[in-house]
Chain A
Amino acid sequence: AMSGLRFGHERSLTQIKFNKEGDLLFSCSKDLIINVWFTDNGERLGTYDGHNGTVWTIDIDGDSKLLVSGSADNTMKLWQVSTGKCLYTWEFPTAVKRVAFSPDSTQIVCITEQRMGYQAAIRIFDINREGDGTQQSEEPVSMFNPIGSKPTVCTFGITPNVILTGHESGKVALFDAKTGEETLNNERAHMDVVTDLQLSPDRTYFVTSSKDKTARLHDTRTLRVLKTYQTETPLNSAAIAPGKPYVLLGGGQDAMSVTTTSSRQGKFETRFWHKIFEEELGRVKGHFGPINTLAVHPSGKCYTSGGEDGFVRVHHFDESYFKAKPYGDLEIED
């Protein structure tokens, strides 16, 4: 039903992101390199070379000018998308596990890891978009240490100065970016580590994946769980498909299929679930190791998966996929 492209890194993928237009695909990996690819043909456009440790996380600004990355080398770097030039490096006492631009691309939020006497921290930086991009402030505009469970994922909420987080304990929470106060939480959003968090295009809801084998859809304002997708395997990533009522889930494989599937075909699958009905609709094979990261094209025309096997796969949905309405003619709002 789908055509696919496969290209890759030398080591496992950690995060993949499309830019806003969707023509470019950015990937980072344990091989220290960040790559940018043309979505349509998988041709590599360039690299962002300079980290000395696993690159855990990346994000691209709204006009595809700036890229931010976080690494196990205890730095966060700002890059010029068009030239691959590193514009600025922030140094921290511990690894940077997650980064995200604000919706207007004027701020960055990041999580640094808890290690060697350092607490996990969330920092927010103002980004100076004037000039050549190299004049950045070393100091964050705010910094706080979430009490209790360590944060694993973060992004900006709907309204300014609200940070949305997922935690090691399974908690999801909202923080006041200025005071560091936890303003709302759902302690029982998941029963184990939250591994990914991706917002809907208008930020009013988001999907999380967890090692507890479920993915969940949440209301961004209230943190109420709207939907639950119960699988049989620990999940590493979850993404919302714009324009279609689907969520995509990726992780390990079912214990049962370890022995029953040929190891020649990539047996690690992206799972498609109906966003509203909470039913699994299908799976797409293609990786030789767990799926670590998923992203859907902003128009919904294709999606990409990054695996522990080092491969990036882009799947273009064909016409039959778009025409298929397995649940009849109900019109579902995005």
Chain B
Amino acid sequence: EDAAEESNVSAELIAHRKRLVDEWNAWRAKCRKELGEERQDPKGRGGEQEEQKEEIAIE
């Protein structure tokens, strides 16, 4: 009986965590979409730039 109760609790916890992750992932997808739209719109040009790598020489 105890074991059954425990597995109920953990099922609840797992469902709760899944909800938190779904909520987070949905928000991240929305952020990415907004960022993408801003970058296509020249007026809303963001500061993020393309990867720019340069070697630096250290004396």
Task: Give me the interface of A with B, judged by CB distance under 8 Å.
Answer: 21, 45-46, 62-65, 81-83, 102-104, 156, 158-160, 202-205, 221, 226, 276-277, 327-328, 330-334
Contact = CB atoms under 8 A, between A and B. Distances in A.
22 contacts: A45-B58, A62-B52, A63-B54, A63-B56, A64-B56, A82-B59, A83-B59, A103-B49, A104-B49, A158-B35, A158-B38, A158-B46, A202-B32, A204-B31, A221-B34, A276-B17, A277-B17, A327-B17, A330-B18, A330-B21, A331-B25, A332-B24
B47 interface: yes
Contacts of B34: 204, 221
Given A82-B58, A328-B14, A202 B48 contact: yes
Interface string B20-59: 1100110111011011001000001111110011101111
A160 B35 contact: no
A215 to B, nearest CB: 17
Interface of B: 14, 17-18, 20-21, 24-25, 27-29, 31-32, 34-35, 38, 44-49, 52-54, 56-59
Nearest to A156: B47
Nearest to A279: B17
A46 B53 CA distance: 21
A333 B47 contact: no
Contact of A21 (B24, B35, B53): B53
Main SS at interface, chain A: loop
- The 5 A-B residue pairs with the shortest CB-CB distance in the complex, in nearest-first order: A103-B47, A333-B28, A204-B31, A330-B21, A333-B25
Contacts, number: 71
Contacts of A45: 58
Given A159-B38, A202-B35, A332-B25, 7 more contacts: A81-B56, A102-B47, A103-B49, A104-B47, A160-B47, A276-B24, A330-B17
A333 to B, nearest CB: 4
Contacts of B49: 62, 103-104
Given A82-B58, A102-B47, A159-B46, A333 B52 contact: no
Contact of A46 (B14, B20, B52, B58): B58
Contacts of B28: 333-334
A103 B48 contact: yes
Contacts of A221: 34
B14 to A, nearest CB: 7
